[in-house]
Structure 1
Amino acid sequence: MSRGRLRRVAVAGLEGVELVLARGIWSRFQPHAHDGLCVGLLDAGVRVVTLEQVSYVIEPGQLFVINIGARHQCHSPGPHSYQVLRLPAALVRSLMDHGELPYFSRTWIDDAELARQFRHLPGLLLRPGPVRARAEPLQAFVWELLRHAAPGVQASGAASGTALALGEDDPRLALAVAYIREHHAEPLRLAEVAEVAGLSACHFQRKFLRATGLSPLEFQQRERVRRACTLLESGISLAEAALAVGCCDQSQLCRIFNGCLGMAPTVWRGC
């Protein structure tokens, strides 16, 4: 990732809600999936989002959305600036009429008023004061956003957020996910994790990918990055964090960090 400015901010009082504010960032994200709904607005430059081998070019002023659990890839051909809002699945589900997770059939949203509303949202969410002062404008925005979800269509497979539930609909996957998390710092073989799930390696690989948008190895790498983030926030050194999550050295952690988050750990730590 090129030099620029990137801020990653947890919204006070709203569990799991996070803002990512980037200015002049030039980055390339490897294939990944989010366990929440991501909504963004491009302020400058160009962002290319690839979903299911189809690339979409997002231009300044365009609002874009990434479905929960959707495997995708992002890159920018040059420096670009954007703001992204990450919404936990539980919050999104709570605002749906029947508690299902929404599915957006288009990556971009053509709604100038909604884009204007989104542009002002970060300022409201970062404002100090009672939680209600942040929760109400967020809820109003999400309700308007959900009007653009495909009517009568509930997300399914990886896009359904089964990755969020992490196997709540399939106890075998839940066992595998728990095993990967518990042993994230160890070298894991596909056959070993498949055995925990009681499935053949091939069947398990397909089922896990379909449910989470990630292969078991990719899931382990993201779990290592997640644990490393927690350790780095506690103030330990990069080298110590790398060893604690099972990397042979800090350069290996930097590689998987870049692959998952599109930035080096040192940049992330300074956000």
Structure 2
Amino acid sequence: MPLIAEPLHACGLVESSWVRACAASFPRHTHDELVLGANLSGCEHIWLDGQTIEVPAGAVTLYNPLAIQGSTFGPGGVEYISLHLDIDALQQLMRDNNLGRGHGCPTFEQGVLQRPALYRSILDFAAAPTAVEQEPALLLVLTELFEQTQVRSGEQAPAIERSVSLMRSHLHERLTLDQLAQAAQLSKFHFVRCFKKAIGVGPLQYHMQLRLIEARRRLRAGLHANDVALSLGFYDQSHFINAFGRVMGVTPQAYSTASRRR
């Protein structure tokens, strides 16, 4: 296998791809974009800033715009996710959210980074199946990218409480990130950043957890799985079964049957 790149998601800010390579290389080159990579498996060797550096599985690579870099992939093979972030769109996001000056090329620590949270967020974005799920996943990537200091304990606690209150009062529908950020009275970027730090998961993931908690309560009360799915605003039975199974490991019907036996 030489080098294969399969496109994943593309929008005004980012283009992403899943790359598999074996006994191949990228000669020294550069990009206009900020480039992030998450090494899934294998070992890549990069040339950057006059050095050859090993990139193990689980590491992140970051190349600032116009950095000269090259890559070599050994015979054992490498798989990684690559994100190319458009600089103009990134600068606009910085201006909209008061992240530094918001003009000129943003620069970050580049090279091989051991940043588990950033690595995980890149994988979550790559795995997001729909545009609705891609936006908050991308905001979490940017949150981890811009994260320089820890959020103070309790920062934006009232804003988080307002968004959670909206979630609890709307278990019957799927809220959008815009609705939740508006309730928190924060920009979407700052809302996702603060919510993840305070709660530990993204806001849409948390809302889904609350809806599934209510689903389990209704199933234990004897309601039929079809009625539960409809009353809690799931698109259809398949959507409900998949969401429930990812968390509980069983179908709603199996959970309901087991609950009646107790």
Tell me the TM-score normalized by structure 1. 0.48
Please report the TM-score for the alignment, with normalisation by the length of structure 2. 0.49
Which is higher, the Rg of structure 1 or of structure 2?
2
Q: Select the structure with the greater relative contact order (CA < 8 A; seq sep ≥ 6).
A: 1
